[in-house]
A and B are shown apart, each in its own frame.
Chain A
Amino acid sequence: MKKKGLALLMAATLAFGALVGCGGGDTSPAAEDSTQAAEDSASSDDASSDSAAATNDDAVANLVAATTDTVTMTVWASEEDQEFTQGLLDSFQSQYSDVTFDITLGAKSEADAKDDVLADVEAAPDVYAFAHDQINELVNGGALQEVVNTYTYDVKSENLAGSVEAGTVNGKLYAYPMTADNGFFLYYDKSVFTDVSSLDAMIEQASAANKKIAMMVSNGWYNYSFFRGAGFEAYLADDGLNTVCNWNAAGGTDVAQAIIDLGKTGTFVDAKEDADVVTGITDGTIAAAVSGVWNADAIKEAWGDNYAASKLPTFTVAGEQKQMYSFSGFKMIGVNPHSKNVGWAMLLAEYLTNADSQIARFEARGLGPANIEAAESDAVKSNPAIAALAEQAEYSYSGTVGGNYWDPAATLGLTLISGNPDGTDLQELLDNAVEGITAPAE
């Protein structure tokens, strides 16, 4: 199949070269001819084999043949990814060496890509990287092209099921999974902890060593862990804007009480910001923390040989041990439907996320791949942080929540971890929070 693709490519290339030789003029009939030729050869060649693949290759050949002007595209990748992405862009361009590209690479953090993309969708880049929790806003804002078809590899079957699910809104795939490492798990210091299976055990060991365990409980992204672990739900409604949440259902107060109890130990502490976690680990006060791969290097440096990572522990709810959940996080590549070259943008997005690129990304940047084949490789598996993520994957939610989830959930977390200072009735506390979480997005 690959060879045939190459042949088609060459046919198209020749046709294109001839056109360029003609020096412009009336180009469209010639282009159609070459397309026709390519289609003929494909159908005669390969009538029996995989016809879908044949049409995909045709599509690429058609696109190459139909492209006469310079393809101008803008790509956004994170600041840290610039050098690596530029390398991929260069090899992408050399792969289609007969098309003139003018690709500009811009730096924009995946974490808040939506802020700039949605500010003016028509002026936004053609291809951009974003964290999957923004996918609903991006789809609602019309900033993502549906992945109606794939051409160079099958996005849905080659990537982890969770990552494909995370790129799907209302049953339609809108993005190309790039990494599968944006979730959180447990980092711990091996010299302090021998048993990290339950929070209770960990708190005992930590207080014996006069160390603390940190988690950003006053943050909806992290405190979801407790409620979901105890079987309560918060997820995006079908409208793609609002959140459905049942944290105030019967038994929810037990979870609230569990968080209050954790806070009262004095050993399990709330970190307001990511920086607080790193600072605490570096200065030696924190011996275990719930965080993600973005802090792996800093933590590894601080703990050296004692650096270890694992899935999240269990915690006690009304006397029972419950496994803490995680939001799993993926970084995605999206294509802007307002792009002048949607076709090329889709091919580029595929290129940036194919198995080879994901492996290269792991090697260059240590980012965990979403590609199944890449994730299975020994190098990936031997990375403690990524292995911990994989362990946690079973207990993680790859969907998202609506925009109104975050502030109320953060406040609820803060109130609980600081021991409910006003002494509000727990049920009332949960009712108020859920009311805010589920408030219709205006």
Chain B
Amino acid sequence: MDNQVEKKKKTNPFLTYFKDLGTAIAKGDVSVKLSMLFMGAGYTFHKQVIKGILVTLIEIAFIIMCIFYAAPNLAKFGTLGTVQFEQVLDPLTLQTTVNDYDNSFTILLNSIIALFLIVCFILFWISNMKSVYRLQVLDNEPESLTKKHINTFREDVRSLFSEKFHLTLLSLPALGVILMNIIPIFVLIAIAFTNYDQAHMPPNALFTWVGVSNFKSLFANSLTVTFGYAFRKILGWTLLWAVLATLTTFIFGILLAMLINSKTTKLPKMWRTLFIVAIAVPQFVTLLLVRYFFGDTGIVNSICSNIGVTEFLKSVGLVSQHLNYIPFLSSEHWAKFMIVMINIWVGVPYQMLIATGVLMNIPSDQIESAKIDGATNFQAFIHITMPYILFIQGPSLITDFVKNINNFNVIYLLTNNAFITPDQKLANSNAKEVDLLVTWLFRLTNDYYNYKMASVIGIIVFVICAVFTILSFTRMISGDREGDYQ
């Protein structure tokens, strides 16, 4: 007996999954075997008629879906369509005739949905076989006190609201995730392998599969295509930005929270409210305003030149001689500096809120006993408060980091149209020094319709984010470090 348990533990869950199916098919009675074709057969035969009918209805719906939806789309999936849009206007009657054209994008999208439905159906079919077999085993058990009762349909439905309530609760969010996240991601991945761009835009033109050539051109750095150069440069800045933005807002958030929490601060509630008001103003409004303040002819520049700051910076060499303004958002280093600064300003209130919550929960006995032992405030902060905050906020720091890799608002709203790259190689690939991968991706799709390269970048951003998340989560949360703080 022990041996068997041991064995079972070792077997691959994947294998078990199919083994169970094999058992169901091999040992099932006629009705179970019949369920392979008519899915409701097993249920109907074993006293669960309504369930049998429902399952059969699902099967019929699936077959109809296959014939009228999946088959026509999947048939064209290999080529993504061959008939180009043609429309003829008869100048005499002012009526148009349109041919029965293929829309590559619709074919791609529908095929992926169809494939998805087919996979779902196969999984459903397998689980159906298994549960029909379980039902048969249950039904064939000789009458006894220990024999389990076969649920009626009503009881099944009721169980969805009691012991199986998790299924009911999770089905809606799961469906949402599939529709909103998973299918679009598959479409995005597929587009990276096509030539979907300005010259191949459905519905008027067709696009088709091109293999991995888009990935090749991303890393190629020939003279004509500077995409690889632009990619490396932007990737570097994206990572630097994500680190800077995350750390600065984090540190300043904690400092601010401690300042407000400090016993010597007057009116802490008022200060906290003021910072929360800053959150309540939509971020893009703040950013657009700030952008105009710091524009080349903006108010900050006119103040600076009036009080002589501009001249001073010129004499120090921070502003080049030919300018008569401070290029806050229009030269590379100034713009990067300003973006980080403005981001601190925009992001600190959030961090302050979180840090306030954490600070309030730090057990005061530790700090008090440390102080009795003669620790200074600073030592208490470094050795007790900081580790505690880091432990609690570790996961949220990682999410912040990933969020900052994709921080579209700050970069795009501050630099769009204001920043013109002086680097011809970047300009030739529609990129700028201050671009993050995500803003570059946006301009490629929105301004240049280069969907295929945008998808490639999208996949790479995804991979980067995934790698960072997995690495840091496993490092930070692995082990049972919670014990250290109890």
**Contact among B96, B223, B430, B449 with A137 in the assembled complex (CB-CB below 8 Å):** B449
Query: Does B280 lie at the interface of the complex (its beta carbon under 8 Å from any beta carbon of A)?
Result: no
- With known contacts A276-B296, A279-B297, A410–B95 Cβ distance under 8 A: no
Instruction: Provide the bound-state CA to CA distance between A422 and B95, in Å.
Output: 60
| Chain A nearest CB, measured from B10 CB (Å) | 52
The proximity string for B residues 416-428 relative to A, scoring 1 for CB distances below 8 Å and 0 otherwise, is 0110111111111
The proximity string for B residues 421-442 relative to A, scoring 1 for CB distances below 8 Å and 0 otherwise, is 1111111101000000000000
| Chain B nearest CB, measured from A250 CB (Å) | 20
Whether B199 lies near A441 (C-beta < 8 A) is yes
| Chain A nearest CB, measured from B421 CB (Å) | 5
Which of chain B's residues have a CB closer than 8 A to the CB of A432? 424-425, 428
Which of chain B's residues have a CB closer than 8 A to the CB of A148? 89, 91
Which of chain A's residues have a CB closer than 8 A to the CB of B323? 418
Which of chain B's residues have a CB closer than 8 A to the CB of A283? 297, 302
Which of chain A's residues have a CB closer than 8 A to the CB of B330? 272
Whether A62 lies near B420 (C-beta < 8 A) is no
- With known contacts A121-B203, A280-B297, A58–B424 Cβ distance under 8 A: no
Which of chain B's residues have a CB closer than 8 A to the CB of A419? 322
Whether B322 lies near A263 (C-beta < 8 A) is yes
Whether A59 lies near B93 (C-beta < 8 A) is yes
Whether B446 lies near A60 (C-beta < 8 A) is no
Query: Does B295 lie at the interface of the complex (its beta carbon under 8 Å from any beta carbon of A)?
Result: yes
Chain A interface, DSSP helix/strand/loop, else mixed: helix
The proximity string for A residues 51-71 relative to B, scoring 1 for CB distances below 8 Å and 0 otherwise, is 000010011101100100000
Whether B92 lies near A55 (C-beta < 8 A) is yes
Query: Does B198 lie at the interface of the complex (its beta carbon under 8 Å from any beta carbon of A)?
Result: yes
Query: Does B161 lie at the interface of the complex (its beta carbon under 8 Å from any beta carbon of A)?
Result: no
Whether B320 lies near A218 (C-beta < 8 A) is no
| Chain B nearest CB, measured from A277 CB (Å) | 9
Whether A149 lies near B297 (C-beta < 8 A) is no
Instruction: Provide the bound-state CA to CA distance between A433 and B91, in Å.
Output: 45
Closest A residue to B446 by beta carbon equals A115
Which of chain A's residues have a CB closer than 8 A to the CB of B199? 140, 241, 441
Whether A442 lies near B450 (C-beta < 8 A) is yes
**Contact among B89, B292, B297, B450 with A342 in the assembled complex (CB-CB below 8 Å):** B89
Which of chain B's residues have a CB closer than 8 A to the CB of A87? none
Which of chain B's residues have a CB closer than 8 A to the CB of A346? 94
Query: Does A45 lie at the interface of the complex (its beta carbon under 8 Å from any beta carbon of B)?
Result: no
Query: Does A182 lie at the interface of the complex (its beta carbon under 8 Å from any beta carbon of B)?
Result: no
Whether A142 lies near B203 (C-beta < 8 A) is yes
Which of chain A's residues have a CB closer than 8 A to the CB of B424? 408, 411-412, 415, 429, 432-433, 436
Query: Does B260 lie at the interface of the complex (its beta carbon under 8 Å from any beta carbon of A)?
Result: no
Within 8 A of B (CB), among A59-108: 59-60, 62-63, 66
Closest A residue to B95 by beta carbon equals A343
Instruction: Provide the bound-state CA to CA distance between A442 and B427, in Å.
Output: 15
- With known contacts A115-B446, A407-B430, A435-B428, A342–B198 Cβ distance under 8 A: no
| Chain A nearest CB, measured from B255 CB (Å) | 35
- With known contacts A279-B297, A407-B428, A415-B424, A343–B94 Cβ distance under 8 A: yes
Instruction: Provide the bound-state CA to CA distance between A442 and B454, in Å.
Output: 11
Closest B residue to A414 by beta carbon equals B420
Whether A436 lies near B427 (C-beta < 8 A) is yes
- With known contacts A141-B204, A275-B292, A63–B93 Cβ distance under 8 A: yes
Closest A residue to B85 by beta carbon equals A142
Within 8 A of A (CB), among B291-305: 292, 295-298, 302
Residues of A with Cβ closer than 8 Å to B?
55, 58-60, 62-63, 66, 115, 118, 121-122, 137, 140-143, 145-146, 148-149, 151, 218-219, 241, 263-264, 266, 269, 271-273, 275-276, 279-280, 283, 337-338, 342-344, 346-347, 403-404, 407-408, 410-415, 418-419, 421-422, 429, 432-433, 435-436, 439-442
Show 25 residue pairs from A and B whose CB-CB distance is below 8 angstroms, ordered by the A residue. A66-B95, A115-B446, A121-B203, A137-B449, A142-B204, A263-B322, A272-B295, A272-B330, A272-B418, A273-B296, A275-B297, A276-B296, A280-B297, A342-B89, A344-B94, A346-B94, A403-B447, A403-B448, A408-B428, A410-B427, A411-B423, A432-B424, A440-B224, A441-B199, A442-B197
